[in-house]
Amino acid sequence: MIRLVGFFVGLGFTFVVLLAFVVGAYTAATEPAQPTAEKVFHREAHLPAGGYSFDGLFPQWDLAQLQRGYQVYKEVCAACHSLHQLHFRNLADLGYTEEEVKAEAASWTVPGINPDTGEATTRPGLPTDRFPSPYPNSIAAAAANNNAIPPDLSLMTKARHHGTAYVYSLLTGYQEPSPELLAQFPDAAPGPGLHHNPYFANLNLAMAPPLTAAGQVTYADGTQATVRQMAADVAAFLTWTAEPTLVYRKQVGWIVMGFLLFATILAWLAKKQVWARAKLED
């Protein structure tokens, strides 16, 4: 009797699950999805006017721009965001000399150990050190940023769709929510500690606008530091940190394509020669 009751209970449970699946599938197929604020008002990321030197078929790194981007990171972004995958010695790839790399590393303070006491301390950086985190741990990072932990920027442009364009658009996209957004989706208004940005996934993020005014950074090469210029430069720098071999990879791609084309032509000529003999024998 117990087995029979258990059988019918299981059968009923299976029927309910199948019914829910069929109803859900029918509803999803016949009823249009309800619009959300993110779908209606989210904007696609875009590149700055003129694009970047590392885009296109024949890319090159603009070392001057990468150095400006590093300056923006150091003076603005480094206050909250780490760059843990990068070592100071990697700055040599941006055109800095060995002496400049050593001086740049020494201008940073990195965690260290007191050799006499064994206690944690700090010291000037060395070229072999990684870029330090601005916070000792994630708890301190969350406490200083409204419970939002700033992400590491080393691979940011690889972690986001259209990464370079995303970084540039996000940095230049802060604005007040439009009246249309608030009228259609009142709940989409940024809450306490949040800031509206239509290029962010859910339109509101905890990071305050980092680039707020022209001249926030004084470029060493004399370039006018507008907000868009700073955003374009730091986006280029973060593209390099995420994939330093990007330009080399594309250049090697051309060599590989040329080799494959040459090999294809040789194979076709070899085939013609082999089958020409076979036809003569016939």
The amino acid present at 206, given as its one-letter code, is A
∠242-209-240 over CA atoms, to 5°? 15
Instruction: For the domain made up of 38-86+130-244, give the CATH fold.
Output: Cytochrome Bc1 Complex; Chain D, domain 2 (1.10.760)
CB 239 within 8 A of CB 54: yes
Q: What is the pLDDT of residue 208?
A: 93
Q: What is the per-residue pLDDT for 55?
A: 92
Q: Contact 43/199 with Cβ under 8 angstroms?
A: yes
pLDDT tens track, the chain, 282 positions: 666 666 666 777 787 777 777 766 666 666 666 778 888 889 999 999 999 999 988 999 999 999 999 999 999 999 999 999 999 999 999 999 999 999 999 999 998 888 878 788 889 999 999 999 999 999 999 998 888 899 999 999 999 999 999 999 999 999 999 999 999 998 889 989 899 999 999 999 999 999 999 999 999 999 999 999 999 999 999 999 999 999 999 999 999 999 999 999 999 988 888 877 666 665
According to the model, what pLDDT value does residue 39 have? 86
d(CA 136, CA 18): 52
3-class secondary structure, 244 = coil
pLDDT at 227: 97
Strands 195-196 and 120-124: unpaired
CA dihedral 123, 125, 130, 136 (to 10 degrees): 30
Task: Please provide the DSSP assignment of 22-90 as one string.
Answer: HHHHHHHHHSPPPP-HHHHH-----PPTT--TTSSSS----HHHHHHHHHHHHHTGGGT---TT-BGGG
Residue ranges of domains in the chain: 2-31, 38-86+130-244, 246-282
Question: Which is nearest to 135 in space by CA: 123, 149, 121?
Answer: 149
Global pTM reads 0.83
